[in-house]
Amino acid sequence: MYARLDSCSILGMEVIGVEVEINTSGGLPGIHMVGLPDAAVRESYRRIKAAIANSELPFPRQLITVNLAPAHLRKEGSYFDLPIALAMLAVCGRLESSALRGRLVVGELALDGKVRGVRGALAMALWARRRDWEEMVVPAENLAEACLPGGIRVVGVRNLREALDHLQGKPVPQPEVSVKESTRSFPCLSEVKGQLHAKRALEVAAAGGHNILFIGPPGSGKSMLAERLPGIMPPLLPEEVLEVASIHSIAGLLDPGTALSASPPFRAPHHSISHVGMVGGGRNSPRPGEITLSHRGVLFLDELPEFRRDTLEVLRQPLETGKVTVSRSLITTTFPARFLLVAGMNPCPCGFLGDSVRTCCCSPGRIRNYYRRLSGPLLDRIDIQVEVPRLTPRELVELPGGEKSDSVRERVVAARQRQRDRWGEGSTTNANVETGRLYEACRLGEEERRFMYLASEKIGLTARGFDRCLRVARTIADLAGREKVSVADLAEAVQYRSLERIRGSWLLQEVGYAG
């Protein structure tokens, strides 16, 4: 006897279609599972046997061969419990083989016959819609998630019996899909007192997609500012929403029962993270790392110099190209990773260099080493660097909160629109447009050029620093709605090169951060 059923699985960031085939033949009862199953898949046999028995359904007493095709790809996870069980029931004659056709089935089985949720249902539903599948059977837990993309019939099942009923054409009660409005909202910018300089820098960063570094003593509000960045970023475009949701679904981070959220994701990994945790990886089937989870959103790295150097160095390629390719012995996967990097660091190891109240107790050599932990190529990719001074208690009370996130976001959205009009559709921003097009779009007049020469001479801007300044100035002009980049825009942009200045003047050239 032979039966086949379609299912799918996740490999890296990709959904792959898997055909589940079952054949029974004479011989001692037993099972062969072929098609590169991993441990979780091989164990499914025992779950299926118990689940079928506890659902009071028949189990084939023959030699069973289960094949998961295509045979050359490794199969992972517990997606195939339900399809294999249904195929076995078909082999026992409880299902017509025609009932197995035209639908995708995924689900994990519990020993009592219940169907458990799986990760990646949203990504699978998206994939199924693209491949013109008519129907998808998913665990009831994943129903809301799988319904989000739309354009495909999705049936949720609570247990094996319900799945059987559905395939036999009997009606199955569908749980109420209550899609809550997204409750993810970010704290408001007006809650941060003072720090006008840093807030303005944050606005410029959001508008132009510039990476940003806050340098300030402990308690100056670096993390507070960073957490408020997604709240002033433009909402995600519809296709971006699905892209982000599908990544989070594969990572198992999607909150069941929540609508798609148009707010950009925000990730803040601790500095003990490994480089695999950062860029993604894993032995056989690479899982997305933090930079992919913050795709189209914000990656906040607090205490930047405390991160392991190799973890920071792997950020260089994704910061440039917006994606990362992870190669393992069996598979090579490309993860999307276009994120906005927000980093925080202290001005020195003890944190109080330049503080108005406490004195710093670090030796010049220690401070030098602290800055040396950050490589030049990484810092070159951070367009905006601002110092965030600590406020006195009096200032905390007296200083105004300033603008609300909503009104800042309006300006940011308008500035992004101008960039889209200029650079064309897509995710090109002032921060990542090619240099040639940038120079074309901000032709400097005689006065502007003279200013930049003077600035490079006086502040010690490097060639790359000059390029980054121009990008930031372009964004400042966009925020103001000006087509031409003026001296004032450049002058403001120059102020966002704190590190260049620290390197150039604090202890003078002695603090060479690039070593």
Interaction site with other proteins (CB under 8 A): 194-197, 200, 216-217, 347-348, 353-356, 359-360, 364-365, 368, 386-389, 395, 399, 451, 454-455, 457-459, 476, 488, 491-492, 494-495, 498, 501-502, 505-512
Alpha-carbon distances of 213 from 76, 150, 216, 232, rounded to whole Å: 39, 40, 10, 17
By beta-carbon proximity to other proteins, the closer residue of 274 and 363 is 363
d(CA 137, CA 171): 13
Contact, 442 vs 480, CB < 8 A?
A: no
Q: How far is the CB of 414 from other proteins (least distance, A)?
A: 16
By beta-carbon proximity to other proteins, the closer residue of 178 and 359 is 359
Quote the crossing angle between the two packed helices 487-494 and 463-480, to the nearest 10°. Answer: 120
**3-state class (DSSP) for residue 94:** coil
Q: How far is the CB of 13 from other proteins (least distance, A)?
A: 41
Q: How far is the CB of 345 from other proteins (least distance, A)?
A: 13
**3-state class (DSSP) for residue 68:** strand
Pseudo-torsion of CA 469, 470, 476, 479, nearest 10°?
A: -140
Q: Is the dihedral of CA 252, 253, 255, 258 positive or negative?
A: negative
By beta-carbon proximity to other proteins, the closer residue of 133 and 214 is 214
By beta-carbon proximity to other proteins, the closer residue of 12 and 347 is 347
Q: What is the DSSP string of 151-163?
A: SSEEEEESBHHHH
Q: How far is the CB of 413 from other proteins (least distance, A)?
A: 19
By beta-carbon proximity to other proteins, the closer residue of 7 and 498 is 498
Q: How far is the CB of 206 from other proteins (least distance, A)?
A: 15
By beta-carbon proximity to other proteins, the closer residue of 1 and 488 is 488
Burial status of residue 171 (CB atoms within 10 A of its CB: 0-12, 13-18, 19 or more): exposed
Q: How far is the CB of 434 from other proteins (least distance, A)?
A: 27
Nearest CA among 211, 278, 204 for reference residue 499:
211
By beta-carbon proximity to other proteins, the closer residue of 60 and 347 is 347
Q: How far is the CB of 502 from other proteins (least distance, A)?
A: 7
Q: How far is the CB of 81 from other proteins (least distance, A)?
A: 58
Q: How far is the CB of 198 from other proteins (least distance, A)?
A: 9
Tokens of 286: 């690479």
Ramachandran sector of residue 92 (left: φ over 0; alpha: ψ -120 to 50; beta: rest): alpha
By beta-carbon proximity to other proteins, the closer residue of 37 and 217 is 217
By beta-carbon proximity to other proteins, the closer residue of 413 and 488 is 488
Name residue 116's beta-bridge partners: 108
CA angle centred on 290, ends 217 and 245, rounded to 5°: 125
d(CA 396, CA 162): 61
Q: How far is the CB of 461 from other proteins (least distance, A)?
A: 11
Q: Is the dihedral of CA 75, 78, 79, 80 positive or negative?
A: positive
Nearest CA among 160, 59, 148 for reference residue 107:
160
By beta-carbon proximity to other proteins, the closer residue of 85 and 226 is 226
By beta-carbon proximity to other proteins, the closer residue of 162 and 355 is 355
d(CA 394, CA 108): 59
How many other CB atoms are found less than 10 A from the CB of residue 93? 10
Contact, 7 vs 79, CB < 8 A?
A: yes
Q: How far is the CB of 252 from other proteins (least distance, A)?
A: 42
